Amino acid sequence: MTITELDANGRVQLPLGIRFRLDLNAGDRLAIDQLGDGTIIIKKPKARLEINQPK
């Protein structure tokens, strides 16, 4: 497990090894969710997701 930090703008840098294994590149979209115990899930969707933005 790698420890990383949240910057002042709320960004988290993913470790290089994870970015390579998941083929993550600049501009890729990620699905993010939270479980009841505080676990955060970040997933690279296989298909394009429709993202609902609050109005």
Is residue 12, in this structure, part of any structural domain at all? yes
Domain span at residue 24 reads 1-46
4: domain CATH number? 2.10.260.10
Per-residue pLDDT, 2: 86
- CA 30, distance to chain mean position in Å, is 5
Question: Which amino acid does the sequence have at 20?
Answer: F
pTM of the model: 0.64
Cα-atom radius of gyration of the chain, to the nearest Å?
A: 13
Is residue 33, in this structure, part of any structural domain at all? yes
- Calpha distance 41→27 (Å, rounded): 19
Count up the domains in the chain and report the number.
1
Is residue 16, in this structure, part of any structural domain at all? yes
Q: What is the pLDDT of residues 1-55, one digit of tens each?
A: 889 999 999 999 999 999 999 899 999 999 999 999 999 999 988 866 566 766 6
